[in-house]
Amino acid sequence: DNILEVRNLKKHFKSKNGTLHAVDDVSFSIKRGQTLGLVGESGCGKSTIGRLILGLHQATSGEILFNGQDICKMNKAQIHNLRKELQIIFQDPFASLNPRMTIGEIIGEPLLIYKKVKRRAELDSEVRRLMDVVGLSKRFINSYPHELDGGRRQRVGIARALSLNPQFIVCDEPVSSLDVSIQAQVLNLLKDLQAEYGLTYLFITHDLSVVKYFSDKIAVMYLGQLVEGAESDELFKKT
């Protein structure tokens, strides 16, 4: 049961120096409830794949089937609707969280945009529930992003991503800007959430050790192409 199937995906960026094949004929699939680790050095095209899946870039060619529906063929309204099922967590929550909004407002915003709550009190209790789910103390509800450390900010990003109860989350370097001691906590949280909600992850990272114990399958990218793909235990099999 593949929740996501990427087929012959290409993304070219044109510049005055020519055409950059950022994603060059990439195919892979992810089974529902599993994690695919997408690894490779900086600049090889991982984030571009993440953005294509989110519908933030227009593909040059290829298909991205999400529950059988091609994201590449969706219009703006369909992409908007897709957000309820497909979310993203970014590397640097400080860059992706609005600095003028409180933690409570940031977590609750998708619920308002998608009209998932009708009354103020309902919004407030849902935000508090989400803070519980990600292990964030409610004393931060009226704080601003700069008042939190990196690990707590990433918990805010995760709570916001979870707010619409999605099936699939693109995790784009979610722990790369965190201290090593905090990385394990956030990875464990993501793992627990996956078990609890049956989430599917595309886990993008330049750090193979981060996905080693986390991914069911690993795909290795190099210069826009997939150069290796394997079941995780196969790739790390002791010889």
| CB-count burial class (<10 Å; 0-12, 13-18, 19+) for 209 | exposed
Piece of 37-45, 117-125, 126-134, 137-145 that binds ligand ADP (CB under 6 A)? 37-45
Return the residues of window 81-100 that contact ligand ADP according to CB under 6 A. 91
Least CB distance from residue 209 to ligand ADP, whole Å? 17
| Cα(180)–Cα(208) distance, integer angstroms | 14
198 touches ligand ADP by CB under 6 A: no
**Run of H or E including 12:** strand 2-15
Give the residue among 150, 174, 151 at the shortest CA–CA distance from 161.
Answer: 174
Least CB distance from residue 13 to ligand ADP, whole Å? 4
Please select the residue that binds ligand ADP; options are 42, 75, 181, 239, rule is CB under 6 A: 42
20 touches ligand ADP by CB under 6 A: yes
Piece of 29-37, 39-47, 133-141, 174-182 that binds ligand ADP (CB under 6 A)? 39-47
Strand, helix or coil at 207? Answer: coil
| Cα(3)–Cα(200) distance, integer angstroms | 8
17 touches ligand ADP by CB under 6 A: no
**Run of H or E including 235:** helix 232-235
Least CB distance from residue 185 to ligand ADP, whole Å? 22
Q: Which residues bind ligand ADP (CB under 6 A)?
A: 13, 20, 22, 40, 42-48, 91
